[in-house]
Every structure is written in structure tokens, then in C-alpha cells.
Chain A
Amino acid sequence: MTTENVSAKVQPRNPLIPVSDQTWAGLAVLAVTLVIGWVMSRTDGTAAAIWVLAGVFGFTLQRSRFCFASAFRDLFLFGSGHNMKGIMAGMAVTTLGFAAIMHWIVPNPGSGVLPSEAHVLPVGLSVVVGGVMFGVGMVIAGGCVSGSLYRMAEGYVASWVTIGGVIVGLGALTLTWNWWYGTFITHEPKIWLPNVAGLGYTGAIGLTLLGLLAIYLLVTWVEARNGLFTPKINRKVTPAMTFPSRVREASDPIFKRGWPIVIGGVVLGVLGIVMYTIHMPLGVTGELMRASQLVMGWGGIDVPVLDGLATLGGCTGRSGESGLISHTFSITVGLLPGALMGALFAGEFKLRLPNNWRRYVQSLGGGLLMGYAAGLAIGCTIGAFFSAVPSLSVSGWVFGLALGVGAFVGTLIIKRIP
């Protein structure tokens, strides 16, 4: 058969009912979110701004079903590069924006000075071990840290278990951090491309964009080799006769139907740039690290003084902020109402309980691995990859390659779990 006569059809349920119960719930969440933002703005304008941006971040992740676990795993599992293409597009956009910001902070690279707050992280065994562990964990759990966060808000109970595992894993890392730091990380160089071999900004940006393009073409080749093509979705047209149903129809591409993945990537890229201008690049692990230290305190476990962490930058370096409301709180917790609104406005919210007990074990185990790994690599797929590659940091590429290796191993594991 030829590809012309295969198609997918979508039949919307009750297409003429413009406002459902879930829509009202979504509006209530919006109102509460804005009130929290307004309260925050009274004491910390930056925290409030991050809170709002994080809401858009969560909404975008949910709407485009952005998933780093799937990006790596599906190349091996299904020969699909769907999510990876979105990530490449997003990082290309972010690279240009970050370069402009970093150029403003460090106009003359080559002096050895690194741009403050950019996610330029140490390159060495820690990031390789962290990347492989994280890759295995995200495939076993069925989502990375950011993915599990937004799925938590969508009603995936397994993702709550995963995030619990991440928090415990970060605690385990906290207890062993000083060994890792003293043995390896303190000797590992932070390699920033504009400082390398006279590349400067032009060379570093060019090299990064070429690398992203090469991966985009590689995954396109993988898809072609596997006979995959993006289906053209035909929709049954139900005439919208009333004003509310027309408004609903017009808003469906944003609120109802999943966004094209490249659009999602580009929106996330722009959000990352805005976030860097007001605070620091995107990252979600810092707050989970704080949560793990809080839980350790409740359990009577002494949190050791973490050598060198605050000087390394990146997500977890921020975990020293005190008080409930912090910048890391705004970004990590702030994405939850955004993702919840995404699900509610689409009428997709549902408590999803796996029937198979193995899924809970997988979620917990994958979470533990990811937590430990995200602490070790100083960030997850967002902080140590999606924000690091555009920071023109070699660590982002090393972490990404290690994620690929880990995802491959994880794929072999999940194929054996019924």
C-alpha cells in the first residue's frame, strides 16, 4: 500500500460543548496561580516573575508532550525521532539567545572567565556516570524529572512515585557528594567552547548549531530507515454554529490538540532565554534537592556541608536558598499548576493508576536512579542538557551522549518487563 491512502482521523467528543467541568477547574487553578504570584510579587518580584514563567513552562511541556525520555528511548525502541527533533529545535533557539546574554556578561572570551549563571559544568567521570544512570532511570520510570513533574500534575500516580524516588535518590547523593567531589569533580575542568582553541563566540555558536543540525538529520535518517512517517491527521468537521463553539474551535489548536513538537521546543527555548535574563537558565533539580534535605532533616539525618557545590553553578548549586518561597521553588513547583491547566483545558486530566504492580517498582527505581544521577551531574535533562548545550558548555554534549547510552540500556531492560 502506498502512503497516500493511510490516514488518521480524529473524532472530538461533544465538539459543540465549549466549556466543560474541567475547563472551569482550569480557570480556578489559573485564578489561584495568579493570586499566589501576586502575593509573591509583594516580597520578591523575581520569584513572582519566575512563578509565572514556570507556569508557561509547565503548560508548554504538557501541551507539546515534551519528553526527554521518549526522545532518546524511541530512537532505539520505535525508530522514532519525534521528540528529539523538538529538543534540537529548542536548543538551537536557546543557543542564539544565550550567546547574546553571555556575550553581554563576558565580551572577550579566551580570558578564562566564565559567564555567571550559565550552565557550564565540569566535564569528567561524574557527568558520564550521571548521564548513563539518568538515561537508564528515565527509561525505566517512563519519564525524566521534568516529564514526571508535569505528569504528576496530569494525574499520573506513577509519576508521584517517581518524584518521591528522585527526592530519596538526591538524598543518597547528598550523603556521598563529598567523596565524589574530592575524588573526581574537583579535578574536572569546566570546558566552555568560546574559550577553547580560539573558537570565540562565532566558532562556538557555529559548532553548536552544526552539532544540533547533524543530530536532527541523523534522527530523520533513523526514521526514514525504519519506514516511519508523520501521519496526516484528518479531522471530522462538525460545523460550529454558535459563538461559544466558534471560540472553542478557534482555541483548540492551543488548548485542545497537542502542539507540534518543534513548536513546543521553540517556545521552551524562548522561555529559557527569558528565564536567563531574569534569573538563570531553566532547571528543576535545585528545588527537589532542597526537598530532599528537608526530608532528611525530618528524619534526623544530618545534611553534610557539600564541598564546592555552591561554586559549581547549575541547578543544585542553588539548593542553599532558605525559606519556603525561593527562586527554585518558583520554577519547580510553578510548573505544576501550568501543566495542570494544560491538562484541564484540554479535558485530559485523569487519575491514572497502573494495574500492573511492576510499574510502581519501575517508577520508584527509575526515580532513585535519576535523583542520584541528577545530583551527580548537577542537573537533569533540563539543567545539565537543555540549558547546558546552549550555554556552549562541553558538559551538555557529554551528558547528552551518556543519556543516549543509558537510554539504550534502559530500553533493553523495559523490553524484558511484561
Chain B
Amino acid sequence: MTERNEDVPVLDVRGEICPYPMMKTNEELDKNRPGVPVLDVLTDHPPALSTIPPQAMKRGYEVEIDEIDNGEWRLRLSKA
């Protein structure tokens, strides 16, 4: 597991409506930062907690979900 540090790139999709949290995450992993070893996704969209992990795992990432505030989560995607 990756240690917490400040250099981890962050994709903030808070406030986004369905399905943009998932679409933007896929876009980040496929186009903007291909092969990025670790990415933090911040979301306030509960369905994203069940839709982002399968998409990330399909691309070879492990997912760790942290609840950071009421209705806000950080998904840490890291290459295993």
C-alpha cells in the first residue's frame, strides 16, 4: 500500500453529477495521466464508490476508500 504523502495527484470531482465522476476518473487514468502509479479521487457522489472501483481494477489498480467528511470520500487508486 502507498504511504500517505503530498505528491499524490488529486482528481477532484466533488459536485459533479452522475456519471461524470466515473467518466472523469477513466479519462484521467486513460488519457490525462496514463499509467499514473497512484491517484486520489475526491468525490461526494455515493454511487461512484461502487462504480469507480471496478473501472480502476480493470486497469490494474487497487482501491482504498476513505470517508473524509459527511458525504465525501477519497478513493486512492494505486498500481499493485
Contacts and interface: CB of A to CB of B under 8 A. Distances in A.
Contacts of A67: 18, 47
A190 interface: no
A78 B17 contact: no
Given A1-B80, A9-B64, A77-B23, A362 B49 contact: no
Contact of A11 (B14, B47, B65): B65
B32 interface: no
B64 A228 contact: no
A388 interface: no
A353 B65 contact: no
Contacts of B16: 354, 356, 359
A142 B17 contact: yes
Contacts of A290: none
Interface in A316-357: 343, 346-350, 352-356
Contacts of A229: 54, 57-58
Nearest to B63: A8
A85 interface: no
A315 interface: no
B5 interface: no
A82 B50 contact: yes
**Which secondary structure dominates chain B's binding surface?**
mixed
Interface in A69-89: 69-70, 73-74, 77-78, 80, 82
B40 interface: no
A392 B2 CA distance: 53
Contact of B15 (A11, A70, A346, A354): A354
- Most A CB atoms within 10 A — which of B19, B51, B60, B66? B19
A237 interface: no
Given A70-B19, A227-B58, A228-B54, A349 B63 contact: no
B70 A258 contact: no
Interface string B17-55: 111101100100000000000000000111101110111
Contacts of B68: 13
A12 B19 contact: no
Nearest to A343: B71
A74 B54 contact: no
B62 A6 contact: yes
Nearest to B57: A6
Contact of B49 (A11, A258, A363): A258
Top 3 A-B pairs, shortest CB-CB distance: A350-B71, A13-B67, A142-B18
14 contacts: A13-B69, A65-B46, A65-B50, A78-B51, A82-B50, A142-B18, A143-B18, A154-B71, A228-B55, A229-B58, A348-B70, A349-B70, A352-B45, A415-B23
